[in-house]
A = this chain, B = another copy of it.
């Protein structure tokens, strides 16, 4: 039963809940899982560099007792010799038991999966999907709040190009009684199609605002995003907007004492380093959670029994 994870919606709500339960169990009892993937190999095929994601996958597999091989940028791959991405992935699927693949082109992991003899995990494809980031976000919310329903979440910054936001909005729209607050400059609002698909069609309430400070008091979760230079069409727009929504200790004065601050990282300066020491900052815990949810996902795709 080969299963690929290309998009977060490839997983049902029940499967996500199961993955979160497994990740919680690994966090509680890491030793129980330390040889679970013995003699298994993960290949990380990164056609564009992403240290953070690649190392998270590799660390996850190693912590399961498995081993790792792969490449970290396209220059080292056979594609440079005229090979199709499908053939490269097919080849590696002859060696490894599971593949995590990142590619700058949208849809590349989906296309490549047709040629693979082993499960493929999409580790990010252009501005499109990045399902393990979304799983990381969900695990973090679950660990911080003890639940995945009944809260108010604010998304702040670049909501137009930030794929992690789109994906998390989509994923959360399947849970009960979540109120969405969308905080961005007019130029970087959540795209209409995301609002239509994820929110309007399901009758989920949401609010749009340009002011972070105004809505701060009502938030249970604040999801900050990086203003990614590479998504802008010109330097001028980037410079004008990038500092609009910087989170500082001052802005947090009016926030709830049990607010949880998330960020997919890397950050440039959208969260002041001074916030790192605030107990409400959850983004470094989020980094760690990313490793554990990936462990859970690898176990699931390799059909290795878990104990949760």
Interface residues of A (CB under 8 A from B): 31, 34, 39, 41, 43, 49-52, 55-56, 58-59, 62-63, 65, 67-73, 75-78, 80-83, 87-88, 90-92, 94-96, 228-230, 265-268, 284, 287-288, 291
Interchain CB contact under 8 A, B265 and A95: no
In the complex, which residues of chain B have a beta carbon less than 8 angstroms from the beta carbon of A268? 82-83
In the complex, which residues of chain B have a beta carbon less than 8 angstroms from the beta carbon of A73? 75-76
| Bound-state Cα–Cα, A260 to B160, Å | 52
Interchain CB contact under 8 A, A81 and B266: yes
Copies in the complex: 3
In the complex, which residues of chain B have a beta carbon less than 8 angstroms from the beta carbon of A51? 71, 76-78, 88, 92
| A–B pairs, 12, beta carbons within 8 Å | A51-B77, A52-B78, A55-B71, A67-B67, A73-B75, A82-B266, A83-B266, A87-B265, A87-B266, A87-B267, A91-B266, A94-B288
| Bound-state Cα–Cα, A88 to B70, Å | 21
In the complex, which residues of chain B have a beta carbon less than 8 angstroms from the beta carbon of A291? 94-95
- Known A-B contacts A41-B59, A94-B291, A267-B87; the reply to A80 vs B49 at CB < 8 A is yes
- Tell me the smallest distance from the CB of A227 to a CB of chain B, in Å: 10
**Can you name the residue of chain B whose Cβ is closest to the Cβ of A230?**
B81
Interchain CB contact under 8 A, B80 and A69: no
